[in-house]
A = this chain, B = another copy of it.
Amino acid sequence: MQNAADGGHPVDPFVRKLAHGATLSEADRAVLARFAEPARRRERGDILQEGANLQSVVLVLEGWVYRYRQLENGMRQITTLYMPGDLCEPFGAVSPRMNHALAAATPVTLALVPPQALREATLASPQIEKALWWDLLLSDTITREHAVSLGRRSATERLAYCFCEVRERLEMVGLTQGESFAFPLTQAELADMFGLSTVHVNRSLQELRRTGLVSLQGRRATIHDLATIREMAMFDVSLFHSDVVTRSAAGSTPPGRRPDTREVS
């Protein structure tokens, strides 16, 4: 049995990610690390067809996965991107008949976690509970911001936003190397992700390269000017680092709270 924390091996990205959402004890980490163990490997390509039967939550340990939907007219839309440490469904439940398909963008290592086990971990530790809800809220935020890209950002801005987002997510799990990080998506996949044609993705990428903001070579991306690309992408970092409330009665007013914020009252 492989322990994710032993020498040389990278720390389990699931634990690493969730640690951003709550202060996890050693016991908490051990519980979570156990979910990330029984791994399956998959080559690039479909993992689960639409309509497939599923009883567990898919957890990505290595590689990139995405969820997509194929329309009757042949068009395809990628709706979500999953990277190491990401759960492909909300932690507490699964739709037994998949209504979107799941595919691997690279060779991947996965774990299958029964939703019941996650919910039980939630009962055993309020910190795990908080971390899992934080994770769920974060993926909601990412999904909504993807809709903002699709609706209101230009092709170039969408791609720029994508680089900012991916960088942020990979950094959370310690998978960036300085200014660069793995970026294995095909231009055709980017097109299906952002509602564009591959031709236009190609040209928009060239524009990003021409301005010197990003370079892209051999399935890796390097961001040369983070501040500028964030500005042109209208990327709001704070979305990725917001807090979460699971127990409304729990705390008194937190220290950082500004008294003038408006509430529903």
Residues in chain A within 8 A of chain B (CB atoms): 40, 47-49, 51-56, 58, 67, 69, 71-73, 75-77, 79-80, 89-90, 92-97, 99-100, 110, 112, 114-117, 119, 123, 130, 133-134, 136-137, 140-141, 143-148, 150-153, 192-195, 234, 236, 238-239, 242-250, 254, 257-258, 261-265
Across the A-B interface, the 6 shortest Cβ-Cβ residue pairs: A151-B195, A93-B133, A150-B150, A114-B248, A53-B261, A75-B152
Partner of A245, one of B52, B79, B80, B94: B94
Minimum CB–CB distance from A228 to chain B (whole Å) comes to 14
Given known pairs A133-B92, A137-B93, A239-B99, the reply for A71 and B261 (CB within 8 Å) is no
Given known pairs A79-B144, A144-B67, the reply for A93 and B244 (CB within 8 Å) is yes
Q: Contact: B96 with A246, CB < 8 Å?
A: no
Minimum CB–CB distance from A39 to chain B (whole Å) comes to 11
Instruction: Give the CA-CA distance A89 to B93 in the complex, in Å.
Output: 16
Minimum CB–CB distance from A212 to chain B (whole Å) comes to 22
Of all chain B residues, the one with the shortest Cβ separation from A135 is B93
Q: Contact: B147 with A146, CB < 8 Å?
A: yes
Q: Which residues of B contact A261 (CB under 8 A)?
A: 51-53, 97
Q: Which residues of B contact A247 (CB under 8 A)?
A: 115-116
Minimum CB–CB distance from A188 to chain B (whole Å) comes to 14
Partner of A97, one of B80, B92, B242, B265: B242
Instruction: Give the CA-CA distance A195 to B116 in the complex, in Å.
Output: 39
